Chains A and B, each alone.
Chain A
Amino acid sequence: DIQMTQSPSSLSASVGDRVTITCRASQSISSYLNWYQQKPGKAPKLLIYAASSLQSGVPSRFSGSGSGTDFTLTISSLQPEDFATYYCQQSYSTPRSFGQGTRLEIK
């Protein structure tokens, strides 16, 4: 099974900051990497698929990059509604494992 490791586990930032979250796969997964946002009490929401493709309706301040084993999610200018937990997921093989999550908190 492919293991996904996110860093950091938590992050404090201010509105307007640029933040980057990283995700590393235990083996090459090409570009089969998705990012989800989850707010308390809600289901995860797809932000980015195929490592860098923005899901329809997702603000352009979100971007993704990477291939192989190393990936990043960047939020260019944090907005109040962006404070949430973010998960990466590999879709290269079953089980389609998730990272442990990165909790983004207000500084």
Chain B
Amino acid sequence: EVQLVESGGGLVQPGGSLRLSCAASGFTFSSYEMNWVRQAPGKGLEWVSYISSSGSTIYYADSVKGRFTISRDNAKNSLYLQMNSLRAEDTAVYYCARITWYSGENWFDPWGQGTLVTVSS
């Protein structure tokens, strides 16, 4: 079964750091591009970051650029998001999502179950 499982969320004070992990199984992780997407309480989906299959190409949303770092370890089938200088507005459920390509089209599937990050004093 193709599966993504996030971990590492929790309560952190403003200015603090947290590292999220996403464990992949059921597919050849090293062949796929990956993303982090977040959802603040009661709000819509916000794309956060992208990493290519090799890790050589990375993009960030302007809202997290300079504070968050995406990385991957293909040997461990794992995706990471290092979050520094956290702010109250970073409070959200964070999802990892795989990009699936077929016949030139692409979409996010599957998604993990999400991990909640709460930034509060």
A contact residues vs B (CB 8 Å cutoff) = 31-32, 34, 36, 38, 42-46, 49-50, 53, 55, 87, 89, 91, 94-101
Chain A nearest CB from B51 CB (Å) reads 11
**Residues of A with C-beta under 8 A to B35:** 96
User: Which of B8-16, B73-81, B111-119 has 4 or more CB atoms under 8 Å from chain A?
Assistant: B111-119
Q: Are B105 and A97 in contact (CB under 8 A)?
A: no
Q: Are B44 and A98 in contact (CB under 8 A)?
A: yes
**Contact string against A for B residues 85-106, beta-carbon threshold 8 Å, 1 for contact and 0 otherwise:** 0000000000100000011011
Q: Are B107 and A95 in contact (CB under 8 A)?
A: no
Chain A nearest CB from B35 CB (Å) reads 7
- Please list the 4 inter-chain residue pairs (A to B) with the smallest Cβ-Cβ separation, ordered nearest first: A50-B105, A43-B111, A49-B107, A101-B44
Q: Are A43 and B113 in contact (CB under 8 A)?
A: yes
Interface of B (DSSP majority class): strand
Given contacts A45-B111, A89-B45, A89-B107, 13 further A-B contacts (CB under 8 A): A32-B105, A36-B108, A43-B112, A49-B102, A49-B106, A49-B107, A87-B44, A87-B45, A91-B106, A98-B44, A98-B45, A101-B44, A101-B45
Chain B nearest CB from A8 CB (Å) reads 14
Q: Are A44 and B44 in contact (CB under 8 A)?
A: no
A97→B108 CA distance, assembly (Å): 11
Which residues, 43 to 57 on B, are CB-close (under 8 Å) to A? 44-47, 50
A94→B58 CA distance, assembly (Å): 10
